[in-house]
Each structure stands twice: as C-alpha cells, then as structure tokens.
Amino acid sequence: MTTASQSLTTLHESLLSERAAGIKQSAVRDVFELSLDPSLVSLAGGNPFLQLLPLEKIGEMAQRIIVEQGPEALQYGSGLGTPELRAQIIDVMAAEGITNVGIEDVVVTNGSQSAQDMACKVFCNPGDTVLCEDPTYVGALNTFEAYQVTARPVGTDENGLIPSALRERIAELRAAGERIKFLYTIPNFNNPSGITLAAERRQEIVEICREAGILILEDNPYGMLRYEGTPAPTLRSLDPENVIYMGSFSKIFAPGLRIGWAAVPTHLFRRFYLAGEAVALCPPTLNQMIISAYLNEHDWKGQISKYNDLYRSRRDAMLAALAKYLPAGVTHTHPEGGFFIWLTLPEGIDTYALLQQGVKAGVIFIPGAAFSPSGEASNKLRLAFCSVDEETIAEGVRRLSLLLEQAIAS
C-alpha cells in the first residue's frame, strides 16, 4: 500500500460509525470458502438441497414471466410485496396451522434476515436489550450487534425456553436497569441446536411476555420441515397482537430468491413496512412472481413432503453415524425437524481449534461459540445434515469422531 492510500485508509477508518465496528462476518461465512473444497466433507452449511426442485419447470416459469409480463416483473413494486404473493402467504401460513392472519397483516421481506433487521430498526436504540435462546441463530446475533443491542440469553433445556427462567431473567435484567424490547425465538428446530419449544410451554411463554410488556419475534423458517412428532401451535397463533411472526421461502423453496415475510400486529404494521422501504424500497418483483407461479402451478406441499423424506433419511443417517462412531463423553440433540444437530464435548475442548484440525482431517462444521450470546459454547459445535448424502454424512461423522477421540485423549 502506498503512503497516500494508507493515510486515506486511516482517514476513512476514523469516519466509521460505532455500529460498523460491531458488524462481523458470521462464522458460517468464514467456512463458506472451505466448504467448496471437494476433498472436505462439509457438515457446516445449512444449505437446502435444491437439486430436488423441479428446476426445468421453474426455468420455464421464470422465462414465461419475463417474456409475457416483463414490464411488470422487472419494475419497482409495492413495499408491501405483490398482492398475489401476500394472499398466497396466507395459504402457506394456514398449512402451518396459522389461521388468524389476514393479507393486511403480511409484509413481504428480503428473507427473514431482513425482517429481523426491520424489527431492530423499529424497536431498538443502542444499549437496548433483547432476549434470546442460547445458542441462537448467528445472523440474528449479527443484526443485534449491528444495532448495538445487547442479546441476553434465557435458560433453555431439551424442551426449549424454560418459562420460569424467562420470568426470572426479565425481573433480574429490569432490576439492573436494562430496557428489554423483545424476545427473539426460534421455537421450531432451532438453528443451531435443533431443539423445539415444547407445546405445553408455549402458552406460558406468550403470557409471560404479554404481562411483562415485551414483544415476541417468532422466527420460523423450518416449521414445515418436520420429520417426526406433532406440530405445536405457533406463538403467533396464540397471541397475534404481541407476536411478530417471520416466515421464509428459503428453506421450503429457494434461498437465492431472498423472499420471506413478516406477519405483524395491526397497530405496528405501518411502522414495520416503512422500515423495510427505507432499506430496499421493495422486495424483488420478479422473484415474488416466480414464487407465486411456483405456488400456483406446482404441488408445493407435495414438494415439502419430498424434502421431508429426504431430510429425514439424512438426519437418521447422521444420528446412526453419531451412535456408531462418537466417543463417550460427547452428547448431542435429537431434532424432530430442521437441518441441525448440536454436539456438546467435554469441557475444555475448544471447537474453533478443533475446526483447524478438521480441515486437515477432511471434515468441517461450525464451532459453537459463534451461536452463543453468552460466548459459553466453546466446547459445542453444529452439524448440518441437509446438504450431503447419507454416505458422505457417515464418512464426515467418522472423521470427526476420530478427531474427538484424539482431543479427549490428549
């Protein structure tokens, strides 16, 4: 670098916002490049297996839309999303058992990620507090950091958030003078833990937040990817006035289209979608029209069943490999759906260091600390079973287990 460009770098650094200092690359992105190396088994990325989609049919739909409706499809659109897709989202939510929602409650977003950003923009000042599970979705933690919001973990067990822990945490944080804005929760098949909030806890969680005057952000991109057990009611259906529900086409269709939605209580609706307009003006019209055509012309529910059969086999392959190869002292979750299994290793094993060894041994995963607002998950890691076949999963778990044996022995 020349002296002139060095001094410009220094100058520009001095112009950065305080917020920018908190914006980090997610650990998932860190290993993205690595996951492209074909000699490595990647159990890292939570990428849906898009090869199962009817790609030719989708290609024909996209072409037809551009040729026949180009000036509309390639034009700016409403910040709310297209009326057709908003109406179809009501059907998608109904398929998840959410029936107390109307088109006037729905705003289309650039994925659930941008709905999280909109929620922070609308509700959070720097220094505010939000509550969440520990571990939780790394993308949400990054958004909270970007808004200079403190994410405070609430106690969980194998059945998700513990209602009494939530009550205590709210009291304790308020006594310390913290301003709590919302509870961000992934009730179904949490990313990264795979844990689901038990049905019998849901009403109580909703009541605690209502009584305490705290909003709920319910993030539910995996809800329809269930491989066993019965679906529990969404928090949105239990308390529509106090829950902002975030849905996504990323896992049930295609993440590259970057389309999700939020169902927002009526009194907050205008503020919410104006926050979205301030970022992106409108969600991409063409992509919304492709999704509308897909929902109209393809058996999308049948497609989700196909996905569920595939992901169930992959989950089972991973559970079987874990049972076969994992050394004693390592425990893991048993997800009923979604993409992820969460491993807990003996205290003192640092999974960031283990990942470096994993790269040499030909297997990669995501170290747990990335997902932890308390930073206390250094001996944990996330495995994804969604994007590789059963044989590769077994080989990856075998390689990982060898590493774990060595780490435990040393």
The residue at minimum Cβ distance from ligand PMP is 111
Parallel/antiparallel/unpaired status of strands 331-332 and 150-153: unpaired
For residue 409, give both structure tokens. 């022995």
Residues in the chain: 410
137 counts as binding ligand PMP under rule CB under 6 A: yes
337 counts as binding ligand PMP under rule CB under 6 A: no
- In whole angstroms, the minimum distance from the beta carbon of 255 to ligand PMP comes to 5
Segment interacting with ligand PMP (CB under 6 A) among 106-114, 346-354, 372-380, 391-399: 106-114
- In whole angstroms, the minimum distance from the beta carbon of 186 to ligand PMP comes to 5
- In whole angstroms, the minimum distance from the beta carbon of 339 to ligand PMP comes to 8
Segment interacting with ligand PMP (CB under 6 A) among 70-78, 105-113, 230-238, 316-324: 105-113
For residue 162, give both structure tokens. 């513990």
Q: Out of 240, 260, 358, 367, point to the residue binding ligand PMP (CB under 6 A).
A: 260
196 counts as binding ligand PMP under rule CB under 6 A: no
CA 295 to chain centre: 22
Q: Where are the alpha helices (DSSP H) in 220-365?
A: 235-238, 266-280, 285-297, 300-325, 351-361
- In whole angstroms, the minimum distance from the beta carbon of 235 to ligand PMP comes to 14
C-alpha 362/C-alpha 354 separation (Å) is: 12
Asked if 192 and 371 touch (Cβ cutoff 8 Å), the reply is yes
Q: Out of 45, 81, 111, 337, point to the residue binding ligand PMP (CB under 6 A).
A: 111
Segment interacting with ligand PMP (CB under 6 A) among 142-150, 202-210, 248-256, 288-296: 248-256
Q: Out of 112, 150, 242, 285, point to the residue binding ligand PMP (CB under 6 A).
A: 112
Number of alpha helices (DSSP H) and beta strands (DSSP E) in the chain: 15, 15
Residue 262 vs residues 5, 14, 335: alpha-carbon distances, Å = 44, 37, 25
Nearer to ligand PMP, 139 or 160 (CB): 139
Q: Where are the alpha helices (DSSP H) in 221-299?
A: 235-238, 266-280, 285-297
Q: Which residue has the tokens 């790269």?
A: 359
Q: Out of 27, 40, 46, 153, point to the residue binding ligand PMP (CB under 6 A).
A: 46
Q: Which residue has the tokens 């100058």?
A: 11
Residues with Cβ within 8 Å of residue 231, at least 6 apart in sequence? 96, 97, 188, 223
Q: Out of 193, 250, 292, 351, point to the residue binding ligand PMP (CB under 6 A).
A: 250
Q: Out of 82, 88, 113, 333, point to the residue binding ligand PMP (CB under 6 A).
A: 113
Q: Out of 41, 151, 186, 195, point to the residue binding ligand PMP (CB under 6 A).
A: 186
Asked if 235 and 202 touch (Cβ cutoff 8 Å), the reply is yes
Instruction: List interacting residues with ligand PMP (CB under 6 A).
Output: 46, 111-113, 137, 139, 186, 191, 219, 221, 248, 250, 255, 260
